[in-house]
């Protein structure tokens, strides 16, 4: 898609790519996608932000997920749900409950 003249990914496309990386557990491809977002100055909107948090945590990088989460300007339910679930799934139940508070 990126190499097709006149066609470029938008926020919805990039959210789908991040979701695919999460489902595959492909941390390397997820990092490359995150770098692509930065290089192309994508706005980290509600969908991309939540997918970044979700992708990192599902790929086993809880620390990176938390870094992304805490850098988000405004946190909505999508972000909170992603980080709380991710922490709980990876054995950080107490921290997940702390986040709830």
Q: Are 50 and 19 a contacting pair, CB within 8 Å?
A: no
pLDDT digits (tens, 9 = 90+) for 64-82: 999 999 998 888 888 899 8
Contact predicate 70/86, CB 8 Å: no
Q: Does residue 24 form part of some domain?
A: yes
- Is residue 5 in a domain? no
Q: Which domain holds residue 72?
A: 11-100
Indicate whether 33 belongs to any domain.
yes
Tell me how many domains the chain contains.
1
pTM of the entire structure?
0.88
Q: Which of 87, 49, 92, 96 is nearest to 70 (CA)?
A: 49
78 falls within a domain? yes
Alpha-helix runs per DSSP H in the chain: 11-24, 27-39, 46-58, 62-71, 77-89, 93-100
pLDDT tens column, 7-46: 889 999 999 999 999 999 999 999 999 999 999 999 888 8
């Amino acid at each position: 898609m990126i190499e097709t003249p006149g066609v470029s990914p938008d926020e919805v496309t990039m959210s789908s790519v991040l979701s695919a990386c999460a489902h595959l557990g492909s941390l390397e491809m997820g990092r490359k996608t995150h770098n692509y977002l930065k290089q192309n100055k994508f706005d980290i909107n509600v969908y991309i932000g939540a997918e970044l948090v979700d992708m990192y945590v599902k790929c086993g990088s809880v620390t990176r997920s938390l870094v992304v989460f805490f850098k988000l300007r405004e946190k909505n339910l999508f972000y909170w749900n992603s980080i709380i679930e991710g922490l709980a799934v990876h054995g950080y139940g107490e921290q997940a409950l702390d986040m709830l508070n």
